[in-house]
Amino acid sequence: MFNSTNGAVHVSYSYIHRRQDTLQQPTEVFHTRQLSYPVLVTVYHMLECYSMDILPYSVDTITRTLEVEPNEPRPSQERRTLLNVDDVADWCMFSIEVRNTYGVPFEVTFEREQPDAPLVSTTSLVPPGSTTRIVIPVKKFRLSEEHVSQPIPTLSDRQFVVAKSNLSSSEERTQRELFWYREELFKYVRGRWKETGGTRCGGLSLRQQRMSQIMLGLLRTETARVHMSLVQRSSDDPEEEAQPVPHENGKWMPDPNTFVYLHTLITNLSPTPLSLVLDLFLEPKQHVIFEGVQSNIPVGLLEPEQSKAVEMPVAFMTSGRFDAVAEVKVLGQSHDRSKVGQGNLRIAIDVDSI
């Protein structure tokens, strides 16, 4: 049995048949120089990547990026600064867990390089036997229809490959989208490792990670952007300029037992016109009074980059937390592909104000 733990690459070079002024014929003797590059070989399983996930920017995440704690450690400051982005609607978070199964610590670095976004990286020390979670912001993107319609390549060298699949056309399309979006994500996000205090280093493979339909929905730029807010007016005149309800760190705080307006702004981000309808959900609904209908609210035909606002009068009858959700759907599409946008709003009613 042969075991190899190290080796070397030797390169010898020289210049032969070189004429000199003092010689009629070039000498048959030549001298060489040699360069050596040592190579360390290991078969130990050192680092494992698992539990890849795509996370949305929540209100709690935004709050943590803005809060500054006294005597905060420098690594925590750097991670908080890393997650601070310009517009959270355009971003999501890439998350991966790295486990060190070896006996020495490693420095693990993940970097993100995307078009129209600055290069950022984050480094964490993973001690032996420990697991570290890496989180880095990723800008949402959308691939062209021609890109996601390409067949998934195979690793077979056979000339003819017969596709045997019981998947429907919709399921095959979903599998292609998951594959090509994952491939594009791995072009933007890369990981590498370095032995602490040593010379060994290398790259981290993410090929074993899988992308789910939920992760795809968070990573892909929405077809329709939905922005929700609460506004108030002193009269019922729709021409009166509305004033925003007091809010802080993503939480809207209207007065109880008072009608305000749930303002939903829909923007068509697709390159084609869309006929859209809106569904609104308010929870817990037994403590909310609203005017009008909550489902299939007509938005109309929106041209690319065109926006339209829909308002609904609402009143909250008790203290506590309320959640408002808006879903935008395309008319004429199948049920599983009709939803093209979603918005969320968190509402907090102060107990002391009742």
The residue ranking higher by pLDDT, 269 or 166, is 269
Alpha carbon distance 20, 23 (integer Å):
5
Residue 72 neighbours by CB under 8 Å, 6+ apart: 80
In which band, very low, low, confident or very high, does the pLDDT at 38 lie, cut at 50, 70 and 90? confident
Band (350; pLDDT cuts 50, 70, 90): confident
Q: How many CB atoms lie within 10 A of CB 262?
A: 22
Q: Where are the domains of the chain?
A: 6-40, 47-155+166-219, 224-353
Longest alpha-carbon distance in the chain: 109
The Cα 244–Cα 258 span in angstroms is 14
DSSP character at residue 220 = B
Pairing of strands 33-40, 297-302: unpaired
Cα 256 from Cα 260, distance rounded (Å)? 10
Q: Which helix (H) or strand (E) holds 196?
A: none
Cβ atoms of 261 and 311 closer than 8 Å: yes
Taking the model in full, what pTM does it have? 0.73
CATH code of 224-353, in short, is: 2.60.40.10
**Is 40 in contact with 200 (CB distance < 8 Å)?**
yes
Q: What is the pLDDT of residue 154?
A: 75
Tell me: the pLDDT tens digits for 292-335? 999 999 999 999 999 999 999 999 998 899 999 999 999 877 76
CB atoms within 10 A of CB 283: 12
Yes or no: say if 204 and 47 are a contact pair by the CB < 8 Å rule.
yes
